[in-house]
Amino acid sequence: MATVTAGAVKELREKTGAGMMDCKKALAETDGVMEKATEWLRQKGLSKAGAKTGRVTAEGAVGSYIHMGGKLGVLVELNCETDFVARTDDFQELVKDVAMQIAALNPKYVRREEVPEDESSKERALYLDQVKASGKPQAAWDKIVEGKMDKFFSEICLLDQPFAKDQSMSVKQMIDAKIAKTGENIQVRRFARFLLGEGLEKKKSDLAAEIAEMTK
């Protein structure tokens, strides 16, 4: 069993809003893996962020981010429960961070549930063929395929992506930390990303390099 440090407990508490002893137990039960500990708390109903995700979010804000002199732009809608929270600096900072994330990492969907079944099934079939051809024992196939699917979702789904400003957490975990701090449910509803000349035949090497630089 992994040694649970005070720093890890503090970090998990800030992300989830759960009690200190619950955070310590979650880390001990999951060998100190932060993401697994967060999910453990959510499943046990101990994460304050998880407890709030079913509440209605009818307020919020539409934010924008424009980069590279108007060559790349993002609009994103984030919802919360009250206009009071929507106007706070914390919420406005969150809107900006999410817009910048979308600009930099170009997700296709907000969450896994939005990925069309035929798209995810095609990927899963491809990974299964790959693992069968690899010579790995059949007992390990499902676990390997699930790992590859997790990576696939982390590339195309906003909430699964590593947070560009702190890649030790996902975008969802970053939002969960804000939920715990504000005491309100917060949801990313939708977004649109516009890249000047996208789809047209033109050289975009310099533009691609600038976008890549945003993630560093």
Tell me the C-alpha distance between 169 and 43, whole Å: 18
Instruction: Give the position of tokens 């896994």.
Output: 112
Give yes or no for residue 105 having a pLDDT over 90. yes
**pLDDT tens-digit map of 162-183:** 999 999 899 999 998 898 888 8
Mean pLDDT of 6-24: 80
Tell me the C-alpha distance between 167 and 16, whole Å: 17
- Model confidence band, residue 207 (pLDDT cutoffs 50, 70, 90): low
CA 138 distance to own-chain centroid: 31
CATH of 6-52, one of 3.40.630.10, 1.20.1070.10, 3.90.980.10, 1.10.8.10: 1.10.8.10
Mean pLDDT of 151-165: 96
Domain boundaries, the chain: 6-52, 59-112+157-214, 116-155
Mean pLDDT of 190-195: 95
Most distant CA pair in the chain, distance: 58
Instruction: State pTM to two decimals.
Output: 0.70
Give yes or no for residue 96 having a pLDDT over 70. yes
Please indicate whether residue 58 or residue 52 has the higher confidence score (pLDDT): 58
Task: Give the E-state strand segments of the chain in sequence order.
Answer: 59-67, 72-80, 162-163, 166-170, 187-195
CATH of 59-112+157-214, one of 3.30.479.20, 3.40.190.80, 3.40.920.10, 2.40.160.40: 3.30.479.20
Mean pLDDT of 85-105: 95
